[in-house]
């Protein structure tokens, strides 16, 4: 893995957006996975700006949503779909047929996982899989203890995820399961990219990037991926023993 540290969240976000633009220039029909949450907001803002300026052409790429809370859709303000629509899709002229996201209200969630798996496979895999990291080291909703060989799957949410996840909702919300791309997708992605900012992420970043490799901290899988890119601001990187 290659770690790059920036002075500010804004610089880190711009660098992440620039990686997407570079990928699109090289392959306009790239398949790109975006996460939701606090970490990608700045990056998405830059991509919207680039699209309006004509610097980035998103018209031919395919966008895959990383995950979703089971039982929710874009009408839930704390949902991943609502986040991506509010911060990204609503500001762009993107063909809905090129956006693939989990239907977390589907009657058959296993079939929904297969639908997403098959779509990614049919396009030759993910060109970029962008992820943030949870306070328990989860990537997407791959919770502690998740098998690293899984593709898309339904997960039981870790108590820390349930607790931290409340910040996305206007009132306390019952969260029990998630549906998510798997860590096998991350391993197979041509560019796995982790973005993280802020002092609150410093501890888990240090554990993930320099701690013992274990399924108990899913983000430690990044240590096994030589082609992974890690983009951090200096605050998220503040507990790393060394910068590379």
Minimal CA–CA distance to 165: which of 37, 56, 50? 37
Query: Mapped to the 3 state alphabet, what secondary structure does 111-156 carry?
Result: HHHHHHHHHHHHCCCCCEEEECCCCCCCECCECCCCCCCCCCEEEE
Q: What are the residue ranges of helices labelled H in the chain?
A: 9-26, 41-53, 80-87, 109-122, 159-165, 183-188, 202-210
67 is catalytic: yes
**First CA to last CA across the chain, in angstroms?**
10
**Which residue is catalytic, options 9, 76, 87, 136?**
136
**Which residue is catalytic, options 9, 67, 82, 112?**
67
90 is catalytic: no
143 is catalytic: yes
Strands 128-131 and 31-34: parallel
Q: Is residue 232 within 8 Å of 2, Cβ to Cβ?
A: no
**Which residue is catalytic, options 127, 143, 158, 233?**
143
**Which residue is catalytic, options 82, 127, 138, 142?**
138
Q: Is residue 181 within 8 Å of 33, Cβ to Cβ?
A: yes
Minimal CA–CA distance to 79: which of 91, 87, 107? 87
Active site residues: 67, 136, 138, 143
């Amino acid at each position: 893995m290659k770690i790059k540290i920036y002075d500010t969240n804004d610089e880190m976000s711009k660098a992440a957006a620039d990686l997407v633009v570079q990928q699109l220039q090289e392959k306009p029909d790239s398949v790109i996975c975006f996460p939701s949450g606090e970490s990608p907001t700045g990056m998405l803002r830059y991509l919207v700006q680039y699209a309006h300026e004509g610097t980035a052409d998103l018209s031919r790429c395919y966008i895959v949503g990383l995950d979703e809370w089971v039982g929710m859709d874009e009408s839930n303000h704390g949902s991943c779909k609502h986040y991506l629509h509010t911060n990204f899709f609503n500001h762009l002229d993107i063909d809905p047929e090129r956006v693939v996201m989990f239907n977390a209200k589907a009657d058959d969630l296993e079939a929904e996982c297969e639908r997403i798996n098959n779509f990614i496979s049919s396009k030759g895999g993910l060109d970029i899989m962008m992820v943030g990291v949870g306070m328990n080291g989860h990537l997407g909703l791959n919770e502690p203890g998740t098998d690293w060989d899984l593709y898309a799957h339904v997960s039981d949410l870790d108590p820390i995820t349930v607790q931290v996840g409340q910040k996305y909702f206007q009132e306390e919300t019952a969260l029990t399961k998630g549906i998510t791309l798997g860590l096998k997708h991350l391993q197979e992605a041509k560019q796995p990219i982790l973005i993280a900012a802020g002092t609150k992420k410093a501890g888990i970043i240090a554990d993930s990037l320099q701690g013992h490799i274990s399924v108990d901290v899913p983000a430690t899988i990044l240590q096994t991926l030589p082609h992974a890119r890690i983009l951090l601001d200096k605050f998220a990187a503040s507990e790393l023993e060394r910068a590379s």
